[in-house]
Chain A
């Protein structure tokens, strides 16, 4: 149906896509696999007319076509559901859909058609509901229905499950199966191997802008797919060895934080305990209060109640991040650029960023003048780079010149280097290549084994099962009880993500 021949996209001299060949047959679910930065998004943006190719050809049903805009793509029969939705929160579902159609179609007709389609494909949706009141999964359905209204023959889905609970994802897969049965094709972009193996008929793997393999994912193993994606074997994280659990080093007691901005999530009565030797992982779909929880635990935004957070048994709720660091805690925020690191500054300065006070005696001289001892800092920075295998150009390059994975290794290494008693990490391997991810996860596991308490906030269930000794789930600012990792399944976590924060069976029943 769609064929792509040696398609290339250059940004300056950098080839984001380099001579890509791809064939999608009608009635198949075709996976596009690759790590972050492999060129998946660039490729589909060219297919949907958002970016213009530098060279190469796109063939649609055997005819060469030039897709100059998303409108042109829709006209020939290509629909797309983006990872980030473009919906107006204040409008209703039907109004949002009508906006993408040609003017002059009455709203009631749109609503009727939308609810017919949503019924047909098992995507329950109330056309009169306001988008603001809908969950992320429901919003995605709007986007899918919007794409379906154009009666496309090829639907492109960009990382559709990254915002869904496992149950919501299952429902999406049923819809995709229906589309396939009707003879429509789906181009499914993901880096989740398990999903791809489950629903896709064929897969094309990208690495560094090139096709590195085409296969039937069902005949491959996750390891072999990963090798195609990464280009080498990925070390698996070893949780071997015993963790001796000791004292509670990090505790939150009835931590309640009102939302700081209209778009933030309020934390409601969050309780958690992390003991020495434990890795507590907090699972959850993005935007359920993870960032707010990190802010409150790190002290970037302290709370009024001192007892709400305690570190090594001492109340710290009202203390700032510097005081909490001095109590032995280390922090790794989610966003690398402009939060965990200043991209324009060299790595050594970024070491000072996190440790100017905890290592005051080593890094600073001149008493109150606070003169930074650059030579000492550079030696420490070099040590961290070596320990964490940070690949960089030059001795002390700007943080922004490192790849995401290498910068993240440095940022995690910067905290590990001082052996924190408590480490709190938000999305430790978000947007990080598989090699660096396994290195970072191993480091977290090892830190817990050496007797520290580690709290990992993550959206990646694979990661959570790799590192966690205990798992809790955050949903709409509430945290579930923590369960031992080996007692939990993906399904159970999925239920908790859906907001049934597992107190008693009765409450769950009441909620429905």
Chain B
């Protein structure tokens, strides 16, 4: 027996729009089953996972804090994936951006100036972009697969950060803890509103997402991204260069991941430490797909996945389940989004033998 995917002649427009919501519903159902199997009441578990965080001002701030890097990275990845370049290493670019941006407050900690923060953000973007330039160069000139190279570079970045904070950048005042010195006040991203911790990073994320949406929707550059993503040959006919697009999309998504990295370090953590991300760079891949590779959709998807982080922490406290629950939810969500998209475009056909393509009555 063999399973075949057959392209549907007219995929339903309604279902393509509904697809992410369908995936959400399925994730909630599957999550409920998971809680039941863990011996918890699914109703109250799902309530504290998805609803409770929305009821308190402080937890809404937490959602915004976690959504900011997801939206920043996810919006960049949307552009990248639309152009058929598969940057999987945003996590590494996030760390590279954090390290590059932290050069100013860590190495030049005696320098105090209002320029510190803007410089940090710019350095962060450059750091992320440079780190993404490695797989971009390898793909454009050596024809390597960017999925593998960008992913492998994540682990290098993580280990490099670990070495930095244990070695050359370790704070002299931290009793041998592997952290850098605390950033000076002018190196901290200011809070957005007085009611809580959410910082300027969230505003940056919204601005970036809206800007990218405008670019995709209205400009020739956006058109170029779509065309090259759909058909490289047609892009070449139009005079667009797929090599330049590799550079553009990788550097753009790298720079945004780097900006997310330095924003997180500067706005939320206030110093460098061995672990600075709960996997934002990977979760942003889910955000990009859940948001239909549309930067505005990414804003909504980013907020939702931020909720899974906050909700995961909540059920960890109230129901004492493992913190891996968050990861499971995110994994389920990606699985259902991709399955829904696939089944809307294709239908499944079971073929029982190669030759006996059922003879009677139109098997199609």
Q: Closest CB of chain B to A499's CB: distance in Å?
A: 29
Q: Closest CB of chain B to A263's CB: distance in Å?
A: 16
Instruction: State in angstroms the CA–CA spacing of A292 and B233 once bound together.
Output: 14
**Residues in chain A near residue B364, CB distance under 8 A:** 10-12
A354 interface residue, CB < 8 Å from B? yes
A338 and B221 form a contact (CB under 8 A): no
Stretch in A121-129, A318-326, A446-454 with 4+ CB within 8 Å of B: A318-326
Q: Interface readout for A338-369 with B: 1 if CB under 8 Å, 0 if not?
A: 11111011000100111011000000101001
- Using C-beta atoms within 8 Å of the partner chain, give the interface range for chain A: 35 or more
Q: Closest CB of chain B to A70's CB: distance in Å?
A: 9
Instruction: State in angstroms the CA–CA spacing of A370 and B224 once bound together.
Output: 11
**Residues in chain B near residue A10, CB distance under 8 A:** 362, 364
Instruction: State in angstroms the CA–CA spacing of A333 and B233 once bound together.
Output: 11
Closest A-chain residue to B241, C-beta based? Answer: A320
B231 and A52 form a contact (CB under 8 A): no
Of A69, A335, A353, chain B has the most CB atoms within 10 Å of the CB of A353
Instruction: State in angstroms the CA–CA spacing of A345 and B223 once bound together.
Output: 10
Closest B-chain residue to A356, C-beta based? Answer: B220
Q: Closest CB of chain A to B9's CB: distance in Å?
A: 6
B359 and A68 form a contact (CB under 8 A): yes
**Residues in chain B near residue A366, CB distance under 8 A:** 219
Q: Closest CB of chain A to B93's CB: distance in Å?
A: 26
Instruction: State in angstroms the CA–CA spacing of A366 and B219 once bound together.
Output: 9
A371 interface residue, CB < 8 Å from B? yes
B172 interface residue, CB < 8 Å from A? no
B283 interface residue, CB < 8 Å from A? no
Instruction: State in angstroms the CA–CA spacing of A325 and B357 once bound together.
Output: 50
Given contacts A10-B364, A372-B218, A372-B223, contact A356 B233 (CB under 8 A): no
Instruction: State in angstroms the CA–CA spacing of A342 and B231 once bound together.
Output: 7
Identify which of B223, B226, B359 contacts A53 (C-beta below 8 A): B359
A54 interface residue, CB < 8 Å from B? yes
B359 and A354 form a contact (CB under 8 A): no
Instruction: State in angstroms the CA–CA spacing of A71 and B353 once bound together.
Output: 15
Identify which of B221, B226, B237, B357 contacts A52 (C-beta below 8 A): B357
Given contacts A11-B364, A300-B237, A356-B238, contact A52 B230 (CB under 8 A): no
**Residues in chain A near residue B223, CB distance under 8 A:** 349, 352, 356, 372
**Residues in chain A near residue B230, CB distance under 8 A:** 338, 342, 344-345
**Residues in chain B near residue A12, CB distance under 8 A:** 9, 364
Q: Closest CB of chain A to B355's CB: distance in Å?
A: 4
Instruction: State in angstroms the CA–CA spacing of A71 and B359 once bound together.
Output: 16
Which residues 334-364 of B sit at the A interface, judged by CB distance below 8 A?
A: 355-359, 361-364
Q: Closest CB of chain A to B245's CB: distance in Å?
A: 14
Q: Closest CB of chain A to B269's CB: distance in Å?
A: 36
A372 and B219 form a contact (CB under 8 A): yes
**Residues in chain B near residue A339, CB distance under 8 A:** 231, 233-234, 237
A331 interface residue, CB < 8 Å from B? yes
**Residues in chain B near residue A321, CB distance under 8 A:** 236-239
Instruction: State in angstroms the CA–CA spacing of A341 and B234 once bound together.
Output: 6
B227 interface residue, CB < 8 Å from A? yes
Instruction: State in angstroms the CA–CA spacing of A68 and B360 once bound together.
Output: 11
**Residues in chain A near residue B237, CB distance under 8 A:** 298, 300, 321, 331, 333, 339-340, 353-354
Q: Interface readout for B158-169 with A: 1 if CB under 8 Å, 0 if not?
A: 000000000000
Closest A-chain residue to B355, C-beta based? Answer: A69
**Residues in chain B near residue A331, CB distance under 8 A:** 237
A66 interface residue, CB < 8 Å from B? yes
Q: Closest CB of chain A to B239's CB: distance in Å?
A: 3
Which residues 37-88 of B sit at the A interface, judged by CB distance below 8 A?
A: none
Instruction: State in angstroms the CA–CA spacing of A320 and B239 once bound together.
Output: 7
Instruction: State in angstroms the CA–CA spacing of A357 and B238 once bound together.
Output: 9
A55 interface residue, CB < 8 Å from B? yes
Give the A-binding residues of B (Cβ under 8 A): 9, 218-221, 223, 226-227, 230-231, 233-234, 236-239, 355-359, 361-364
23 contacts between A and B (CB under 8 A): A12-B9, A14-B9, A52-B357, A66-B359, A298-B237, A300-B236, A300-B237, A331-B237, A335-B233, A338-B233, A341-B234, A342-B226, A342-B230, A342-B231, A345-B227, A345-B230, A353-B227, A353-B234, A357-B239, A369-B219, A370-B219, A372-B218, A372-B219
